[in-house]
Amino acid sequence: MKTAVEELTPTRVKLTIEVPFEELKPSLDKAYKELARQVRLKGFRPGKAPARLIDQYVGRGAVLQEAVNDALPGLYGAAIEEKELFVLGQPEVEVTKIDDGKELEFTAEVDVRPSFEVPSYDGLPVTVDDAVVTDEEIAETLDNLRERFATLTTVERAAAEGDTATIDLSAAIDGEDVEDAATKGYSYEVGTEGSIEGLNEAITGLSAGESKTFTSTLVAGSRKDEQAEVTVTVQSVKVKELPEADDEFAQLASEFDTIEELKDDVRKRLERQKKLNQIGQARDKALEALLEKVEIPLPDGIVDSEKQRRNEQLDQQLAYAGLTREAYLADEEKTAEEFEAELDEAARKAVKGGFILDQLALDEELGVENEELSEYVVTQAMQMNLPPQQLAQYLTENNQIPALVAEVLRSKALNLIVEHVKISDESGNELDLEELRKEINGETVTAEAAEGPEAPEGGEVAEAEVVEEAAEPAEKAESDEDATKS
């Protein structure tokens, strides 16, 4: 087999692959066997018809087509491996020549990761937020806790923002009632985001027993997305009363005897969260700083795939929240054009960041151990509230192990970057992430160890189901299209 590579762009190549006909023999033999099972020739049992009769019955061209279709994936893979190309996505293949008995020729156009060098990141300055907890933040956290213990008291006045109103809803389109859009005795907090458009304005100012009709778009039911005349009737108006932040409340809401003890615990927890945020920011900003130091041409197809993935993810989240994209954009105070521009920038950063981490993993010859894969699966399963074994089985059955290897490799590459950058907070204090982690873990042991059960034994994923397939070479894992996702 002979392969020639033509660079169409810095991120796309065209391979021209010439294959001697004898290399097709295994696929030809397979094609004859398959066709022999399908045809019925007098005097021959199924699967036993000779090749010359198969040629006469279905035509030599059909046999060749079957053989070529079978051989192309392997031939393409061998060409990629021979030329050491880092391909992205699926190729566009065209058979350009079939000379029966002599030669097969085909071309394959495919996106490739561009060639570049990872710039130096040693001592690269990175700034993260301060981990200082203010009195206002403590008060806000306590107020949120007080909200959980609030009581509702009926008042004889018109509804206002923040009140809880018990309401009846009905809707009609062209004078006809929409039955599945009606509800009674619904408890609604006035001012809530994501409600029926116009509902907050309609309720505000209504007292118990009063009604108002307004035009809105139905968000659910058989007439979803249609304009309707919606009528809201207020049954009662209640005001939320929060308990005083005193010792009695501390004893009610926590294991502490005094409000000062509770405040001190809140401060410690907020400090720990801020320090955790510093670690996360250090990782994000270290990669962002490195992104600014290198220019990489990006394949349009890979960027488009990343944009599509992000759009689909947003649509799922909006559907779950009962929101339209128009309402989301209005809430974010963005136009559709502004959103698309931001989405394009984010997708390009994600693809570019993935390329850098992939290249760094190769440069540093990073590998993935079985234990690291098991730990990653267990962590992901805990976040998804799934048994680790169930997630492991899903990943294996859906051929997600290569993508999993790529994610772990990227994480290790990012850890390597973070170890070498210079991290400071906004006040100018230089941070040591290792010391920060130890401090966080120490606080976790003293303040929270008693809050949750220990991890059950046998939590690690069985190597037989996950790790064996994961021990593929990093190069193969990284060539998977999903590896372009950040």
What confidence score (pLDDT) does residue 40 get? 65
- The β-bridge relationship of strands 2-9 and 151-154 is unpaired
**In the chain, what are the domain boundaries?**
2-112, 125-130+267-484, 151-241
Ranges of the chain with pLDDT below 50: 443-486
Tell me the fold of 125-130+267-484. Answer: Trigger factor, domain 2 (1.10.3120)
What confidence score (pLDDT) does residue 447 get? 37
In b/e form, how buried is each residue of 363-398, taking b as 16+ CB within 10 angstroms?
Answer: eeebebeeebbbebbbebbeeeeeebbebbeebbee
CA distance 319 to 323: 6
What confidence score (pLDDT) does residue 438 get? 85
What confidence score (pLDDT) does residue 458 get? 34
What confidence score (pLDDT) does residue 41 get? 61
What confidence score (pLDDT) does residue 453 get? 32
* pTM for this model (two decimals): 0.66
Q: Please check whether residue 355 is in contact with residue 112, taking contact to mean a CB–CB distance below 8 angstroms.
A: no
In eight-state DSSP terms, residue 461 is: P
The CATH architecture one would assign to domain 151-241 is Roll (3.10)
What confidence score (pLDDT) does residue 479 get? 37
Secondary structure (DSSP) of 181-202: G-EEEEEEETT-TTSSTTHHHH
What confidence score (pLDDT) does residue 463 get? 31
Of the candidates 281, 304, 422, 290, which has an alpha carbon nearest to the alpha carbon of residue 353? 290
What confidence score (pLDDT) does residue 309 get? 93
Tokens of 465: 């189901």
CATH 3.20.20.80 fits 2-112, yes or no: no
- The string of pLDDT tens digits covering residues 289-326 is 999 999 999 998 899 999 999 999 999 998 888 788 88
